[in-house]
Amino acid sequence: MAIKKYKPTTPGRRNMTGYTFEEITKKEPEKSLVVSLKSTGGRNAEGRITARHRGGGHKRKYRIIDFKRNKDGVPANVAAIEYDPNRSARIALLHYLDGEKRYILAPAGLKVGDQVESGPDADVKPGNALPLANIPVGSVIHNIELQPGKGAQMVRSAGTAAQLMAKEGSYATIRLPSGEFRMVLQACRAT
């Protein structure tokens, strides 16, 4: 995901950056993987403003993203790289060989036509989801589970990465983007 820097034509424009969208290959989202999203406008169930200065903005639809990556042993082809208004990262549309379609977070370097897989027997390469026990120490990872089977909860934002530092017993030590070291069960998956 390339970043463009604007010319300092005004004080507000100085140091301003934005995204370029050249990696996006599809304009409209996959209809079966989209649900409507209601904007609260900062109001609670009684209709009263509880969070001030919220509201407005462009209408969004929520893309259902597969954070569990539990379809083991079935390869999938990357059909498209898409924009997601609900997160900073790009998402990839996968077409599994059995016909199912799912969205995943698109790691850096993933292109249309690439093949990805999940499960303990998958190769260690970008886009493949494996248990931490099967990932070599020193690898750069993202999309990390905190409890096995719960789905990824950490390191999901665009441009973030964690590093697998050590494995001891049933736990793996991970260095998070904040610099914090955290121990996670080796059965947890990461991409």
Q: Is residue 44 part of a domain?
A: no
Percent of the chain whose predicted confidence (pLDDT) is above 70: 100
Residues 165/175, Cβ–Cβ less than 8 Å: yes
pLDDT at 80 over 90: yes
In a domain, 2, yes or no: no
Structural domain contains residue 45: no
Residue 148 belongs to domain with CATH number:
2.40.50.140
Inside any domain, residue 15: no
Residue 50 covered by a domain: no
What is the count of structural domains for the chain?
1
How does pLDDT run across 108-151, given as a tens digit for each residue?
999 999 999 999 999 999 999 999 999 999 999 999 999 999 99
Q: Which domain holds residue 115?
A: 21-38+57-190
The mean of the pLDDT values for the chain is 95
Residues 18-27 as b/e (b if ≥16 CB within 10 A, e otherwise) read eeeeebbeee
Quick check: 155 and 144 in contact, CB under 8 A? yes
> How far apart, in whole angstroms, are the C-alpha atoms of residue 105 and residue 90?
6
Residues 17-32 have a mean pLDDT of: 91
Q: What is the pLDDT of residue 176?
A: 98
Asked if residue 97 lies in contact with residue 79, where contact means CB atoms within 8 angstroms, the answer is no
Q: Is residue 16 part of a domain?
A: no
Spatial separation of the C-alpha atoms in residues 49 and 104, rounded to whole Å:
34
Residue 180, CB half-sphere, CA atoms under 13 Å: how many?
Answer: 6
Under a CB-based contact definition with an 8 Å cutoff, are residues 26 and 93 in contact?
yes
Q: How far apart are CA 72 and CA 118, in angstroms?
A: 5
Question: CA of 15: how far to CAs of 10, 157, 158, in Å?
Answer: 10, 22, 20
Give domain status of residue 13, yes or no. no
Q: Considering the domain boundaries, does residue 46 fall inside one? A: no
Q: What is the pLDDT of residue 1?
A: 73
